[in-house]
């Protein structure tokens, strides 16, 4: 396939990452001319004729960039750790979409004592890589149960003792009578760039990467 060295494709996910990347694009003098929430389009034009935005599922952003279907993308640190990061150059922490990865249990479950007594815990999560590393580092034996959403339900219904999930305001945990018992790591979104694109499309990419870097440094 002939590479068009001018055309750039940026992969974003709908919601917080899309919304919080818009000001960074504005800093590079670029406006996305369609709203994915209303247009339902998956390929969006911008005011820069050489840049288009594609809308993909958050956990698919690294895959599109890894295979060069997108030249660059924005993904959470959680998503990048779970993906593994092969084929991706990760130059910038954009300091957007901040939240934290935490362990939570049902209110009333004595997590500290369970861990101290060496109980084998059942942990439900979408983030198996992060959970596995966290509990291994603590020397806690766990059975991980992979879920794809609504993790908060698992301890309430007896599927697991604990969950590992993203927490932002804590409202979801509170609404479901769960309490945060461990903070695993802070999460923010990163820019990821396809390694081949970084070399072949350097001229087109460089000004955008630079503008992103400067704008995100102001938010740090």
Q: Which residues bind ligand AMP (CB under 6 A)?
A: 16, 76, 97, 99, 165-172
Of residues 117 and 169, the one with the C-beta less far from ligand AMP: 169
Residue 102 Cα to chain centre, angstroms: 15
Bridge partner residues of 11 (DSSP): 54, 73
What's the min distance (Å) between Cβ of 93 and ligand AMP? 14
Identify which of 151, 142, 168 has the alpha carbon closest to the alpha carbon of residue 106.
Answer: 151
Of residues 38 and 171, the one with the C-beta less far from ligand AMP: 171
Strands 142-146 and 121-125: parallel
For residues 142 and 135, the answer to whether their CB atoms sit within 8 Å is yes
Of residues 99 and 124, the one with the C-beta less far from ligand AMP: 99
What's the min distance (Å) between Cβ of 206 and ligand AMP? 28
Of residues 101 and 205, the one with the C-beta less far from ligand AMP: 101
Of residues 50 and 98, the one with the C-beta less far from ligand AMP: 98
Report, in angstroms and rounded to the nearest whole number, the Rg of the chain calculated over CA atoms. Answer: 20
b/e map 60-77, b = 16+ CB within 10 Å: bbbbbbbebebbbbbbbb
What's the min distance (Å) between Cβ of 161 and ligand AMP? 19
What's the min distance (Å) between Cβ of 184 and ligand AMP? 13
For residues 109 and 161, the answer to whether their CB atoms sit within 8 Å is yes
What's the min distance (Å) between Cβ of 79 and ligand AMP? 8
């Amino acid at each position: 396939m002939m590479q068009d060295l001018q055309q750039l494709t940026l992969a974003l996910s709908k919601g917080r990452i899309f919304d919080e990347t818009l000001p960074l694009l504005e800093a590079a003098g670029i406006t996305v001319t369609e709203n994915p929430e209303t247009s339902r389009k998956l390929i969006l034009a911008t005011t820069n004729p050489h840049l288009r935005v594609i809308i993909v599922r958050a956990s698919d952003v690294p895959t599109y960039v890894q295979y060069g279907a997108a030249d660059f993308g924005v993904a959470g640190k959680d998503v990048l750790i779970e993906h593994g990061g092969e084929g991706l150059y990760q130059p910038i922490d954009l300091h957007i979409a901040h939240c934290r990865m935490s362990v939570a249990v049902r209110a009333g479950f004595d997590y500290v004592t369970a861990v101290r007594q060496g109980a084998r815990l059942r942990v439900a999560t979408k983030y198996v890589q992060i959970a596995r590393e966290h509990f291994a580092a603590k020397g806690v034996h766990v059975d991980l149960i992979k879920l794809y959403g609504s993790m908060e339900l698992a301890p309430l219904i007896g599927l697991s003792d604990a969950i590992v999930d993203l927490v932002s305001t804590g409202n979801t945990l509170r609404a479901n009578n769960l309490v945060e018992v461990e903070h695993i790591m802070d999460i923010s979104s990163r820019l990821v760039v396809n390694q081949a694109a970084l070399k072949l499309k350097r001229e087109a990419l460089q000004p955008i990467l630079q503008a992103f870097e400067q704008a995100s440094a102001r938010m740090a």
